[in-house]
Structure 1
Amino acid sequence: MKNIRKRLNISISVTLISLTFISCNEKKTVKNTQVEKSKSEEKFGLSEDKRKELFKETVSAEDKANAFQRAKQDSVLNLKLDKTQLKKEYHLIEIQSDELMKKYKTEVTKKYNITEEQEKQISFEGLEKNWPLE
């Protein structure tokens, strides 16, 4: 009987120690997850959700500028220009498209009150984390 009680007490002690250890580890894991989440959550004064919105708007701005460029290039192709004239027109269209892209991206950076460099970092983060483009 004494042996059974002794074994039972040892078993209970081991179980309690194990449960305490598991509980402590779970608390640490939860706490670490919360700390990591809060670290990654806020960048440049923007939550991850806001950065995702900004990323989508940046992609949309690029799409609009690229669509403008394609449409202009297509319309120039219909003019049946010689190679030199076509090259010159394409170069002008590229300049206009770049200016339009800068304008659209500036609107996004102003809206979110960030710098151009911060926008680039957020865009890189979005690509790295495979955020939705639309």
Structure 2
Amino acid sequence: MTEFALALPVLLLVLVGTVVFGIAFNNYETLTFATNIGAQQLSISRGPTGDPCATTASGVKNAAPFLNTTHTLYTIVLNGVTATTASANPSCSSYQSDVGEGDTATVTVTYPCSLQILLFNPAPSCLLTAQTSVIIQ
């Protein structure tokens, strides 16, 4: 019984730490997938009307419904020009002319993560970042 009482806190700490790390890793994988989807949506959505940044953010939000995207930071570079660095709802309708066939676009999405293990947070300013570059179709 004494050995169990001494080992239980350590085992619980390892178990909770594994679960927290697993959730953070799942969020990272989801963010990477959603960033790829948003960049693909941007690559096929050129035209005379529309907002390429809002299209990208919509693709990311739709591909990651379980992430809280209100704290998400988007950096979208269209043909070498940084179109936006905004959170939640980016808009760059004035950059529609920078979205031409054969041009490149880079989408970077940053999402905050929490590695809180009981009362200890080993990385209080943890950020998950995913980046994808595409060629506009």
Relative contact order: is structure 1 or structure 2 higher (C-alpha 8 Å, sep ≥ 6)? 1
TM bin (shorter chain): 0.3 to 0.5
Q: Which is helix-richer, 1 or 2? A: 1
Q: Which is strand-richer, 1 or 2? A: 2
Structure whose alpha-carbon radius of gyration is higher: 1
